[in-house]
Chain A
Amino acid sequence: MKQLSYITILSFIILTSACIRNSKNPGREYMPDMVHSTAYEAGSVNPIFKDGKTNQLPPKGSVAQGKYIYPYDNTIEGYEASVANKNPFTFTKDEVDNQGQHLYKINCAICHGDKGDGQGHLVEIGKFPPPPTYLSGVLLTLPEGKRYHTVMYGKGLMGSYASQLDHRERWLVLEYVKTLQGDAGASAPATDSTSTAAK
């Protein structure tokens, strides 16, 4: 009988030690003060700020060094005025073909399609309505300033990509779109010949 009681005690220990972990529980830690940062980490909850976030926007009116400020408003007038906006960068062909394509595939191709024909994967499987094609019609000859404005603020069902792409990346993607459009896109007119919407 003595052995039996030993057995029960031991099997109890085994059972409990096996139950420390389950998938809903991150498990135990060794010296938690060395694991968790004393300072608030990016993306963590923060009781000090009113909105409870550690990630804060810079104070209103302050501008980070080198940050580009887009001068046109998200209005119909702003859209029309953005025609004057020109690409300030000169990219090498290599940059456009590699980095530009990379960014296009991540951010645009899911709807606009790898070729820019508006037949991305989400459109093909019927989850999202097709956007207009780049390869003909209005978008083929849309001035690059208006294209930038659209990436900045979104248009129709397309959302803003201002937070995902920075100033240089936006122009890089637009340059890549021009290569998709071939000759017509490369000479995207700076002056507005297509729009009569707000006149």
Chain B
Amino acid sequence: MFNSYIKRSYSLLVSFFLIFVISTSSYAGVAVPDVDPADAAAVAKAKTGMDLFKANCTACHAIDRKVIGPALADVWDKWDTEENLIAWVKNSQAVIKSGHAHANKIYEEYNKMPMPAFPTLSDEQVKDVFLYMKAAEKGFDPSNPGGKKETADAAGGATTEGADSGKSNTTLILVGLFAVLAILGAVLFNITSKLSKIAKVAQGESLDAIEAVEAASKKALVKKLGVVAVIIAAVLLLFNIGNGAINLGRSQGYKPEQPIRFSHALHVGQNKIECQYCHTGVEKSRHASIPGTQICMNCHKYVQEGPKYGKDEIKKIYDYSGWDPDKGAFVKAPKNIEWVQIHNLPDHVYFNHSQHVKVGKIECQTCHGKIEEMETVEQFAPLSMGWCINCHRETKVQFADNNYYSVFEKYHDEIKKGKRAGVTVEDIGGTECQKCHY
């Protein structure tokens, strides 16, 4: 106990001495002590620093790379004294005006974009932030001094993949088993026929006579089999033709490759981004609208690497939008991304997204399937007329608390009097021809 007290006061003395030396020397850099994971007080200070850092700094800065502002890992050597750096954090404009050389250099380098002032932070708080920054550089997390890393995401990804490959494995095993059984059956049949032949010869019949009978019965069997096969083939053919005719113009299951391998499973499933975040038109217009690159860049200015394809696919967004991640600016004119259209209603059908999503409060997944699990989007619904009409017949319109339907006074009355349980889309004209075809 006493020993550690001496140690601590000794290190305090040393750091005071260091600070003294640094503040007197002209360009020695800023010295921030490392956090000892065993030192509870230092860890607590670093934790305070972390909270402050996350509340005030991460909107523009990261430790290990340039974001909006510069990377903070190498800030220690670039600044002359800790006092100046603290002053810079608290009010950068004042330091620039005082004519500090490095402050002005940074200001010019970042196109005179000022860092907001933080007058409410005390010197001690800024020092805590420094303490955290230094610790974070070394990979130390003050909220988790033990250093256990969570790998929940990686494990989750692995299990889903495992389930997928397991599925295909079972089909393979089944097919293999079936093949083995078929071969076994054929061999057994062969053996029994040969054995019966031997038995007959043993009973004194002539081999030629047996073979002649066998040949005749074989011929008859082939003829019979041929007739059966022709009938089966004809039925199958008719079935195929009929099915093909029904499916003309329907693209259920259509799953084309897209210019960017954008994964809905990642963005919607794991990251839980709302559909409307990107498909902004879905509540306001006929079209759900495909987002422009500026919506991608809301996040991907920062997120430069994906979990599955690494930097390759995100680099494509940068190419399309003209963004230079090294310079942190748009340097080229944006190009169009030619996404392949999947859902295509015929031109003679009118469909309006806002009517279904905003007024009808239909979930996107009702028509588009489990988008949140799709790595590549495919057409879930047949988009056939029968499919539309069925849904219009079965779906109850949300009459309660919905101003849109206030004109249907008779129905509202009947619901109030208890004569009517609900109103389907068909009841309000949802199966009239001219509702969709005009």
Contacts and interface: CB of A to CB of B under 8 A. Distances in A.
B207 interface: no
Nearest to B121: A137
Interface string A6-33: 1100110110011011011111111000
Interface string B96-125: 000000000000000001111111100000
A121 interface: yes
Interface string A88-112: 0000000000000000011100100
Contact of A6 (B91, B153, B230): B230
Given A128-B303, A196-B91, A118 B236 contact: no
Contacts of A196: 91, 93, 117, 119
Chain A interface main SS type: loop
Given A110-B272, A163-B292, A157 B68 contact: yes
A164 interface: yes
A107 B277 contact: yes
Contacts of B234: 10
A129 B251 CA distance: 41
Interface in A45-61: 45, 51-53
Interface in B335-350: 336, 338, 341, 344, 346-348
Given A26-B344, A159-B294, A129 B302 contact: yes
Contacts of B59: 129, 131-132, 155-158
Contacts of A132: 55-56, 59
Contacts of A20: 244
A129 B271 CA distance: 14
B372 to A, nearest CB: 13
Contacts of B280: 163-164
Nearest to B300: A159
B120 A137 contact: yes
Interface residues of A, number: 65
Interface stretch (B1-9, B187-195, B220-228, B390-398): B220-228
Interface in A114-165: 118, 121-122, 125, 127-133, 136-138, 154-160, 163-164
Given A23-B255, A34-B348, A160-B294, A106 B277 contact: yes
Contact of B249 (A24, A30, A121): A30
B271 A27 contact: no
Interface in B344-391: 344, 346-348, 378
Interface stretch (A35-43, A65-73, A175-183, A184-192): A35-43
Interface string B271-294: 111101100100000110110101
A137 B254 contact: no
A3 B222 CA distance: 9
Contact of B302 (A34, A37, A125, A128): A128
A127 B254 CA distance: 32
A197 interface: yes
A158 B60 CA distance: 9
Nearest to B302: A157
A43 B281 CA distance: 12
A83 B114 CA distance: 18
A195 B236 CA distance: 78
B223 A17 contact: no
Given A45-B338, A52-B336, A110-B273, A7 B62 contact: no
B276 A106 contact: yes
A76 interface: yes
Contacts of A158: 59, 298
Contact of A156 (B68, B248, B254, B274): B68
Contacts of A76: 113-114
B347 A35 contact: yes
Contact of B120 (A28, A38, A138, A159): A138
Contacts of A6: 226, 230
Contact of B271 (A37, A122, A137, A198): A122
Nearest to A133: B55
A138 B256 CA distance: 48
Given A10-B233, A125-B271, A130 B55 contact: yes
A23 B256 CA distance: 7
19 contacts: A3-B229, A3-B230, A10-B234, A11-B233, A14-B233, A24-B255, A26-B251, A26-B344, A27-B250, A35-B347, A42-B286, A110-B271, A110-B277, A121-B271, A127-B271, A131-B58, A133-B55, A156-B68, A195-B117
List of 3 A-B pairs having minimum Cβ-Cβ separation, nearest first: A3-B226, A129-B58, A159-B298
